[in-house]
């Protein structure tokens, strides 16, 4: 039964992703769409970008640095991320997995290059282990697919796994400081054992390594998205003031509608993050989707910069107010604790005074009283005498 369920899952995934371009065209866009956090927005938006075959092809051509991808086209790309969200009943937080066939139009056993694109908003020092998990899942699924379609067994001598190109798309402000290979995550046991450690390298595409001008020169939708992905602080807005709106519009005019829809989604997300009024945001998104006009957005960046500064100021004020409230509450707790301690001390002093008054009333002399005080309070004779002096009338 489990095997049948897995096969059904695989068939469903293939049906859903059999035509990636068609699927991308069907994605609706709603400017008022809301996400729960900035990091979730980033993750969701990156998947929308790279699961769009047009944008993914542009990204691989422009930034992968591999000659195998220099001429890749959207129709060459098959998105298969859906297969690895659950693998062998283990839930995975997989990013974008696509396949690019290297021998199209033949009846030969297919040869694929598999770019594995992982999105990061901050440095993750365990990303190589995460990528390894995805790679093993991809290869295990490949074993089953080839056996099912062609009857090949992975235990045969000539069986081969597809090449996987691990990429990290990094939007963070700081440098990527994690090691770029798996081996660094394994304890070093000396040179003699070094060859037994599995290893691979991955490539990091850091958005901030590219100037806005360099991205515009690429002249495609992916470059516009990378410019938008760089906007995280006030200084990023000021850099957008210098972008030529006509250049942006000319790029968008040549961009297929499915990619324009993704750009509209990312722009809507950016507007929400900047607290842009909904009516104004709707105007931007409408121009992008229906008119393929985006220069208007960059013309208004100075205005949005002011809105960003106001939002940052409001957030800073709120943080300060929260801190003051916490300080006030802490002081109140300290004052209450001090008052309670003072009350306890006063009560103890009164009880001591009452006790010595009873000793004075019923004992014949001070010496006997001192003896009782030493026993009750576990004091030395000198300390007992001092206490007696305070309350003996």
Task: 10-15: list long-range contacts, CB under 8 Å, 24+ apart.
Answer: 10/83, 10/141, 10/144, 10/145, 13/80, 13/82, 13/83
Look at the chain and report how many structural domains it folds into.
Answer: 2
Do 19 and 151 have their domain in common? yes
Residue 335 forms part of a structural domain: yes
Instruction: Tell how strand 112-120 and strand 77-79 pair up.
Output: unpaired
Tell me whether residue 141 is in a domain: yes
Would residue 249 count as lying in a domain? no
For residue 348, how many C-alpha atoms fall within 13 Å in the half-sphere facing its CB?
Answer: 8
At 25 the pLDDT is 39
Domain co-membership, 205 together with 349: no
In a domain, 267, yes or no: no
Provide the domain limits for residue 343: 321-391
Confidence of residue 15 (pLDDT cuts 50, 70, 90): very low
**Residue 218: pLDDT band with limits 50, 70, 90:** very high
Cα dist. 156→125, 137, 143, 147, 159 in Å? 36, 20, 11, 11, 6
What are the pLDDT digits (tens) for 238-277?
777 778 888 999 999 999 999 999 999 888 888 887 777 8
Are both 8 and 134 inside the same structural domain?
A: yes
Select the more confidently predicted residue: 171 or 12. Answer: 171
* DSSP, res 378: T
User: Residue 109 has what pLDDT?
Assistant: 67
Q: What is the pLDDT of residue 337?
A: 82
pLDDT confidence tier of residue 2, bands split at 50, 70 and 90? very low
Residue 116 sits at φ, ψ, to 5 deg, of -110, 110
Confidence tier at 85 by pLDDT (50, 70, 90): low
Task: Give me the mean pLDDT over the 175-202 stretch.
Answer: 94
- Please indicate, yes or no, if residue 18 is contained in any of the structural domains: yes
Percent of the chain whose predicted confidence (pLDDT) is above 70: 77
- If asked whether residues 171 and 25 sit together in one domain, one would say yes
Picking from 14-23, 174-183, 194-203, 358-367, which range would have the lowest pLDDT averaged per residue?
14-23
Please report whether residue 251 resides in a domain.
no
The Cα 335–Cα 325 span in angstroms is 15
CB 368 within 8 A of CB 381: no
Does residue 226 sit within a domain? no
Cα separation of 234 and 212, whole Å? 15
pLDDT digits (tens, 9 = 90+) for 316-339: 677 777 877 888 888 888 888 888
Q: Hey, CA dihedral for 245, 251, 256, 258, is it positive or negative?
A: negative
Are residues 202 and 331 both part of a single domain?
A: no
% the chain with pLDDT above 90? 30
Residue 20 lies in a domain: yes
Q: How would you classify the pairing of strands 90-91 and 96-101?
A: unpaired
pLDDT attached to residue 309: 57
Is residue 38 located within the same domain as residue 174? yes
- Residue of 148, 161, 67, 45 whose CA lies nearest to 114: 161
Q: What is the pLDDT of residue 156?
A: 92
Question: Same structural domain for residues 207 and 326?
Answer: no
Q: What pLDDT was estimated at residue 369? A: 84
What average pLDDT score do residues 356-382 get?
84
In sequence order, the 6+-apart residues with CB closer than 8 A to the CB of 362 are: none
Beta carbons of 118 and 131 less than 8 angstroms apart: yes
Q: Quick one: which H or E segment has residue 114?
A: strand 112-120
Per the prediction, the chain carries an average pLDDT of: 79
Q: Can you tell me the distance from the alpha carbon of 41 to that of 270, in angstroms, rounded to the nearest whole number?
A: 9
Q: Which of 293, 291, 295, 287 shows the shortest CA–CA distance to 241?
A: 295
Assess contact for 174 and 106: CB atoms under 8 A.
Answer: no
What pLDDT shows up at residue 12?
Answer: 38
- pLDDT band at residue 304 using 50, 70 and 90 as cut-offs: low
Q: DSSP letters of 163-194?
A: EEEEEEEE--SS---S-SBSGGGS----GGGG
Residue 121 DSSP SS3: coil
């Amino acid at each position: 039964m489990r095997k049948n369920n897995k096969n059904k899952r695989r068939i469903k995934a293939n049906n859903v992703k059999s035509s990636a371009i068609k699927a991308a065209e069907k994605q609706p866009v709603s400017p008022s769409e809301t996400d729960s956090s900035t990091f979730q927005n980033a993750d969701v938006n990156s998947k929308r970008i790279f699961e769009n075959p047009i944008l993914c092809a542009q990204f691989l051509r422009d930034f992968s640095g591999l000659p195998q991808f220099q001429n890749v086209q959207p129709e060459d790309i098959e998105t298969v991320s859906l297969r690895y969200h659950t693998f062998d009943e283990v839930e995975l937080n997989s990013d974008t997995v696509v396949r690019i066939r290297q021998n199209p139009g033949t009846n030969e056993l297919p040869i694929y290059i598999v770019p594995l694109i992982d999105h990061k908003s901050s440095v993750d020092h365990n990303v190589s282990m995460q990528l390894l998990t995805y790679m093993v899942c991809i290869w295990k699924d490949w074993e089953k697919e080839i056996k099912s379609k062609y009857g090949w067994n992975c235990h045969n001598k000539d069986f081969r796994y597809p090449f996987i190109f691990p990429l990290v798309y990094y939007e963070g402000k700081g440098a990527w400081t994690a090691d770029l290979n798996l081996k660094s995550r394994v304890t070093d046991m000396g040179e003699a054992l070094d060859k037994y450690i599995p290893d691979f390298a991955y490539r990091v595409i850091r958005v901030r390594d590219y100037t806005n001008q360099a991205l515009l020169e690429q002249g495609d939708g992916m470059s516009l998205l990378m410019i938008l992905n760089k906007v995280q602080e006030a200084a990023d807005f000021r850099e957008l003031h210098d972008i030529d709106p006509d250049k942006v519009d000319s790029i968008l005019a040549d961009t297929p509608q499915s990619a324009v829809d993704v750009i509209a989604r990312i722009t809507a997300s950016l507007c929400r993050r900047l607290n842009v009024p909904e009516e104004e945001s709707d105007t931007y998104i409408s121009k992008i989707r229906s008119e393929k006009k985006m220069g208007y957005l960059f013309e208004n960046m100075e205005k949005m910069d002011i809105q960003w500064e106001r939002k940052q100021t409001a957030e800073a004020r709120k943080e300060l107010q929260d801190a003051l409230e916490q300080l006030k509450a802490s002081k109140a707790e300290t004052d209450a604790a001090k008052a309670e301690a003072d009350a306890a001390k006063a009560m103890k002093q009164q009880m001591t005074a009452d006790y010595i008054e009873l000793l004075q009333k019923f004992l014949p002399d001070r010496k006997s009283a001192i003896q009782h005080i030493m026993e009750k309070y576990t004091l030395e004779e000198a300390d007992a005498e001092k206490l007696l002096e305070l309350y003996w009338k």
